[in-house]
Amino acid sequence: MKESSDAALAQPRPAAQRTGMRVWLNPGLWIAILVVLIAAAVPFITRNASTREVLFLMLMYVVLASSLNIIMGYTGYVSFGHVVFFGFGGYTGLYLMSAHSSSLWVAMAAGGLISGLLAFLIGKAILRLRGAYFALATIGINEAMRAFVANFTPYGAATGISLNFAVYQDYGGAATALWLAYGLVAGLALVSILLSFMIKTSKFGLSLQVIREDEDAAEVMGVTTPNAKTWAYVISAIIPGMVGALYFFKNGNIEPAEAFRLNASIETIVMVMLGGQGTVLGPVLGAAGYQRLRGFLITYPLFKDIQLSVAGALLLIIILFIPGGVVGWLRNRIPPLRRLLI
Amino acid sequence: MEFNLVKLLPFLIDGLLIGFVYGIAAMGMTLIWGVMKVINLAHGAIISLGSFGVYLLFVSALQLHPYISILLVAAGGLVFGMLTYFIAIHRVINAPYLSTLLATFAVNMIIIGLGTAQFSTTPRAVDFTLGSFRVGGMTLLGTRLFAAGAAVAVTAALYLFLFRTNPGKYIRAVANNRAAAELMGIPSSRILALSFGLGTMLAAISGGLIATFFPFTILSGATYQLKSFVIGVLGGLGNPLGALLGGLILGALEGIIPAYMNTSWVPVVEFVMFVLILLLMPRGLLGAKK
């Protein structure tokens, strides 16, 4: 966190006020957008369905990591159970599609909305906790939600919800629906990057970063910390809720263990750490890099069986030796980059 | 009501006996937290390793008695924990808590990855029984009675160690104030490693005991790890005796709840209780270590 506090000091006023429109020319933002655009375009050019599936997951994790970064990287509250918003959004979406024949659009909107609402209610309660207690509470909420949904009959209890194949007819058949889902996840990835950037360069973002550095000082400086934290939490939950609905629409079914997978949550944290928490570009690079690495390990015979161990060993090395992640490391080593890689 | 009580008693006692074992696992977690403010996300993996240790010694050519194996597993757990501390945690012990959380999670990934490759995820069980006892119309399994007794003995030994020996005194000193302890000449790194080793040892012992009455896989430790969080917070994070009490309460709940509703509601009750305790009484029942 050292280099981020340096960066905060170097910006006496929010960047947006200081430079007007020029802030939009930041190369860090455009690298992130470029990464997403290239990833989005590749399957459309090659028309290769398996590449599309791999990149769908990558773009999905770009969404999840960028969103998590708002509460974790900017505000300093590490949500260990962030997957709860993804899972609950997915469940809400699939429930609406299967029981009320809603369209995908309604399902995604509802997934985002309900996740935001959930975050508001949870946040009001648990954002009073600090440090490891907050992390434990988010784990508890995810597990409680998973266990509850596994008993909740409208959501299919332990077996979950399966979409009727006819649902896809409205989107030009199953094959076309998968391409549509892919386009949408790329769009959501772009939206989450832009959102992350807009927050980082706003006055609101600055108050979040002050909370991260010293919450008591932030309070003294006139930041209404409970409100700021709650809104950061809500914003970080909405797009994961939408992407949850989209992902499980693509899969056609949802079940509790898959929707509220705690390890997915921790992997998202790893991605944010890998790229560099508290930066716009970091989570995008982290998500892309981690997914590429996993793809490589799974296909490489020597590592196929122990891919989890290799990933774990790499994670350990990064935490021990490059705690700021790739972007944080670059910013530390090459000071001019601090302005360029936001 | 009286009829209910008679019907409930076997469930309650069964739950309490398992609760002792949960308590041991949670005691390891809470000891590590109390001394060095690290939440050990590799705890569950080590519980699984403890189970596998007992299993492998049992099915090997030696056909070692599970209760002798547990002693070996405990020693192995102590060494493994101390090594883990020096390799994975020592460098980040003063960093923000996220670093230690992720460092232990990385250790967890390494163990689970290697364990899955080596043992697959087919459930294993140690084919071993101590018979059962009939007490006033109830049947009690010998293995569970022994496990509860072992848990009490381990707790007593831990307290004797912490309060009657010099290393134990050092551990308490480091837990109270690491800087002051260092000024008094206590080698804090080695004491932290010892504490982490002890916590890991407790996890391994609980895993070994679990293996004598439940089937297990390399992944099943994750469940007990989550239970350890619930129990640790319930008893007061950093308070070993609180962990044992919390374990008993959780075990009792797990015994009683299925008599009233579907077993699948048990985790809902547990985790809702967990979050509520964190919010309403974060110091737990017996008081958390500050």
User: Is A129's CB within 8 Å of B264's CB?
Assistant: no
**A56 Cβ contact list (under 8 Å, min separation 6):** A181, A182, A185, A247, A250
User: Is A312's CB within 8 Å of B37's CB?
Assistant: no
Q: What is the pLDDT of residues A123-150, one digit of tens each?
A: 999 998 888 889 889 999 999 999 999 9
Average pLDDT, chain A: 87
Name residues 24-43 of chain A within 8 A of B (Cβ): none
- Between chain A and chain B, the number of residue pairs with CB atoms below 8 A apart is 129
Q: What is the pLDDT of residues A143-172, one digit of tens each?
A: 999 999 999 988 888 888 988 888 888 888
**Chain B residues inside the 8 Å CB shell of A312:** 105-110, 112-113
Task: Report the pLDDT value the prediction gives residue A19, as an integer from 0 to 100.
Answer: 55
Q: What percent of chain A has pLDDT over 90?
A: 46
In a domain, B13, yes or no: no
Q: State the pLDDT confidence band at A197, using cuts at 50, 70 and 90.
A: very high
Long-range contacts of A335-341 (CB under 8 A, 24+ apart): A338/A3, A338/A6, A338/A7, A338/A10, A339/A10, A340/A26, A340/A27, A340/A28, A341/A27, A341/A28, A341/A31, A341/A279, A341/A281
B99 and B175 fall within a common domain: yes
Task: Report the pLDDT value the prediction gives residue A109, as an integer from 0 to 100.
Answer: 95
pLDDT average, residue stretch A255-280 = 89
In a domain, A44, yes or no: yes
Q: How far is CA A84 from CA A184, A294, B162, B198, B229, in A?
A: 21, 23, 40, 33, 18
Q: Regarding beta strands A161-162 and A253-254, do their DSSP bridges make them parallel or antiparallel, or are they unpaired?
A: antiparallel
**Chain A residues inside the 8 Å CB shell of B222:** 262
Rounded to a whole number of angstroms, the distance from the CA of B92 to the nearest CA of chain A is: 6
Q: State the pLDDT confidence band at A110, using cuts at 50, 70 and 90.
A: very high
B43 and B116 fall within a common domain: yes
Q: Is the pLDDT of residue A3 over 50?
A: no
The torsion defined by the Cα of B54, B130, B23 and B90, in degrees rounded to 10, comes to -10
pLDDT average, residue stretch A308-325 = 87
B54 and B188 fall within a common domain: yes
Task: Report the pLDDT value the prediction gives residue A328, as an integer from 0 to 100.
Answer: 86
Q: What is the pLDDT of residues B140-189, one digit of tens each?
A: 788 888 899 999 999 999 999 999 999 999 999 999 899 999 999 999 99
Task: Report the pLDDT value the prediction gives residue A16, as an integer from 0 to 100.
Answer: 46
**Chain A residues inside the 8 Å CB shell of B116:** 305, 308
For A254, the enclosing helix (H) or strand (E) is: strand A253-254
Beta strands in A72-198 (DSSP E): 161-162
Nearest beta carbon to residue B97 from set A131, A158, A319: A131
A159 burial type by CB count under 10 A (0-12 exposed, 13-18 middle, 19+ buried):
exposed
In a domain, A241, yes or no: yes
pLDDT average, residue stretch A67-83 = 92
User: Is A132's CB within 8 Å of B274's CB?
Assistant: no
pLDDT average, residue stretch A307-316 = 86
B75 and B203 fall within a common domain: yes
In a domain, B288, yes or no: yes
Q: State the pLDDT confidence band at B1, using cuts at 50, 70 and 90.
A: very low
Task: Report the pLDDT value the prediction gives residue A48, as an integer from 0 to 100.
Answer: 86
**Chain A residues inside the 8 Å CB shell of B97:** 131-132, 135
Q: Is the pLDDT of residue B290 over 60?
A: no
Angle CA A65–A83–B42, to nearest 5: 90
B102 and B187 fall within a common domain: yes
B204 and B109 fall within a common domain: yes
In a domain, A195, yes or no: yes
Q: What percent of chain B has pLDDT over 90?
A: 54
Given CB atoms, is A316 within the 8 Å cutoff of chain B?
yes
Which of A10-19, A93-102, B48-57, B193-202 is the least confident region?
A10-19
Q: Is the pLDDT of residue B231 over 90?
A: yes
Q: What is the pLDDT of residues A208-241, one digit of tens each?
A: 999 998 889 998 988 888 999 999 999 999 999 9
Identify the domain containing residue A75 by its residue range.
20-261
Identify the domain containing residue B201 by its residue range.
34-120+141-219
Nearest beta carbon to residue A319 from set B103, B108, B265: B103
Q: Is the pLDDT of residue A8 over 70?
A: no
Give the residue on A whose Cα is nearest the Cα of B119: A305
More confident residue, A6 or A321: A321
> Could you identify the residue written with the tokens 């910006």?
A11
B114 and B200 fall within a common domain: yes
User: What is the C-alpha end-to-end distance of chain A, expressed in Å?
Assistant: 15
Q: Is the pLDDT of residue A194 over 90?
A: yes
d(CA B253, CA A99): 35
In a domain, A300, yes or no: no
Rounded to a whole number of angstroms, the distance from the CA of B117 to the nearest CA of chain A is: 5
Given CB atoms, is A143 within the 8 Å cutoff of chain B?
yes
Rounded to a whole number of angstroms, the distance from the CA of A148 to the nearest CA of chain B is: 6
In a domain, B263, yes or no: yes
- Which of B92, B102, B234 best probes binding to A when mutated, by most A CB atoms within 10 angstroms? B102
**What 3-state class would DSSP assign to A293?**
helix
The ipTM assigned to this model is: 0.85
Nearest beta carbon to residue A151 from set B102, B268, B274: B268
B80 and B154 fall within a common domain: yes
A236 close to A64: Cβ distance less than 8 angstroms = no
Residue B265, CB half-sphere, CA atoms under 13 Å: how many?
A: 11
More confident residue, A245 or A167: A245
B285 and B174 fall within a common domain: no
Name residues 41-80 of chain A within 8 A of B (Cβ): 78, 80
User: Is A319's CB within 8 Å of B265's CB?
Assistant: no
Write down which residue in B191, B219, B247 finishes a domain: B219
Q: State the pLDDT confidence band at B61, using cuts at 50, 70 and 90.
A: confident
Average pLDDT, chain B: 89
Task: Report the pLDDT value the prediction gives residue A5, as an integer from 0 to 100.
Answer: 47
In a domain, A168, yes or no: yes
A310 close to A303: Cβ distance less than 8 angstroms = yes
B273 close to B230: Cβ distance less than 8 angstroms = yes
d(CA A293, CA A287): 10
pLDDT average, residue stretch A182-208 = 93
B192 and B92 fall within a common domain: yes
Task: Give the count of domains, chain B.
Answer: 2
In a domain, A126, yes or no: yes
**Chain B residues inside the 8 Å CB shell of A262:** 222
Q: Is the pLDDT of residue A18 over 80?
A: no
In a domain, B88, yes or no: yes
In a domain, A301, yes or no: no
**Chain A residues inside the 8 Å CB shell of B114:** 306, 309
Q: Is the pLDDT of residue A1 over 60?
A: no
User: Is B39's CB within 8 Å of A129's CB?
Assistant: no
In a domain, B67, yes or no: yes
Write down which residue in B219, B235, B254 finishes a domain: B219
More confident residue, A198 or A6: A198
In a domain, A312, yes or no: no
In a domain, B24, yes or no: no
Which of A69-73, A92-96, A163-167, A234-238 is the least confident region?
A163-167
B92 and B162 fall within a common domain: yes
Task: Give the count of domains, chain A.
Answer: 1
Q: Which of B248, B219, B216, B214 is nearest to B231 (CA)?
A: B248
Core vs surface per residue B83-118: b (16+ CB within 10 A) or e = ebbeebbbbbbebebbbbbbbbbbbbbbbbbbbbee
d(CA A129, CA A229): 11
In a domain, B47, yes or no: yes
Q: What is the pLDDT of residues B87-142, one digit of tens each?
A: 999 999 988 888 888 899 899 999 999 998 888 888 888 887 777 877 777 777 88
Q: What percent of chain A has pLDDT over 70?
A: 94
Write down which residue in B166, B191, B219 finishes a domain: B219
pLDDT average, residue stretch A307-332 = 86
pLDDT average, residue stretch B239-255 = 91
Q: Is the pLDDT of residue B216 over 80?
A: yes
Using only the alpha carbons of chain B, give its radius of gyration.
19
Task: Report the pLDDT value the prediction gives residue A20, as an integer from 0 to 100.
Answer: 65
Q: How many CB atoms lie within 10 A of CB A30?
A: 13
The residues facing B257 across adjacent strands are none
pLDDT average, residue stretch A24-28 = 82
**Chain A residues inside the 8 Å CB shell of B266:** 147
